[in-house]
Amino acid sequence: MNVLVKSSSGITQVSADSKLLSQRKVFIEGEISSESACEFIKKILILNEEDTDKPIDVLINSPGGEINSGMAIYDVIQASKAPIRMFCIGRAYSMGAVLFSSGNHGRYMLPHSELMLHEPLLGNRVSGNSSSIQSISESLLETKRRMNQILARHTGKSEEEVEKATSYDHYYSPKESREFGLCDEIVDFNKIMEN
């Protein structure tokens, strides 16, 4: 999608993504994958290079996705010198909810958005010998422990409380998200429009 931009040299067409990036707005949308993680990281690098004081708004509408790709995004959010504000603009499920809750400079949900937490899932059918299956199981349990530690750190809940909450697909309204410590504030669209 392209938008028209007026400047001193006339009217030009730019992509909506470019226009939003110039306003320091970055999206995590759709399935989280290695490709989407790399695109996100590139944008955060550019915005940090431009200005480390001005906030970056990350707008999330994602069903989740690959844990390793999500952890790459998480590391960048935590290390960004520019403050990153998180906005849930629809749904933030699974890894999307972990990323949303990890915001250190404001975690905002629109009134009809939703979070969902659960245990890490295997992406593919499990096959192989018993040693391979045992190794996969141990790795999955370690990933679950790491995810629970991250959620505990960002929600103020104990790891035991997080483990209980993630033992099944647990859906959170904005109000429930705030009560559990996943969200700071429920806001309307105008908050996203602020610069």
The CATH number assigned to the domain holding 166 equals: 3.90.226.10
Residue 1 inside a domain? The answer is: no
Per-residue pLDDT at 16: 86
Catalytic residue positions, numbered: 94, 118
Answer whether 66's CB lies under 8 Å from 94's CB: no
Answer whether 64's CB lies under 8 Å from 40's CB: no
| Cβ within 8 Å of residue 134, ≥6 positions away | none
Per-residue pLDDT at 14: 79
Residue ranges in the chain modelled with pLDDT below 70: 2-5, 7, 121-128, 132-133, 136, 195
Residue 126 inside a domain? The answer is: yes
User: pLDDT for 81-126, tens place per residue?
Assistant: 999 999 999 999 999 999 999 999 999 999 999 999 997 765 555 5
pTM of the model as a whole? 0.88
Residue 107 inside a domain? The answer is: yes
Domain that holds residue 100: 15-193
Alpha-helix residue ranges (DSSP H) falling in 51-129: 67-79, 95-101
- Number of helices (H) and strands (E) in the chain: give both, helices first: 8, 9
CA neighbor of 180 nearest in space, from 154, 145, 146? 154
Q: What is the DSSP letter of 32?
A: B
Per-residue CA distances from 59 to 40, 88, 110 (Å)? 11, 6, 11
State the distance between the two ends of the chain, measured CA to CA, in whole angstroms: 22
Overall number of domains in the chain: 1
Residue 6 inside a domain? The answer is: no
Query: Which residue type is seen at 63?
Result: P
Answer whether 96's CB lies under 8 Å from 107's CB: no
Answer whether 151's CB lies under 8 Å from 118's CB: no
Per-residue CA distances from 130 to 31, 123, 125, 138, 141 (Å)? 31, 19, 14, 12, 16
Per-residue pLDDT at 119: 79
Per-residue pLDDT at 68: 92
* Cα R_g (the chain), whole angstroms: 18
Task: Give the number of other CB atoms < 10 A from CB of residue 176.
Answer: 14
Total residue count of the chain as it appears in this document: 195
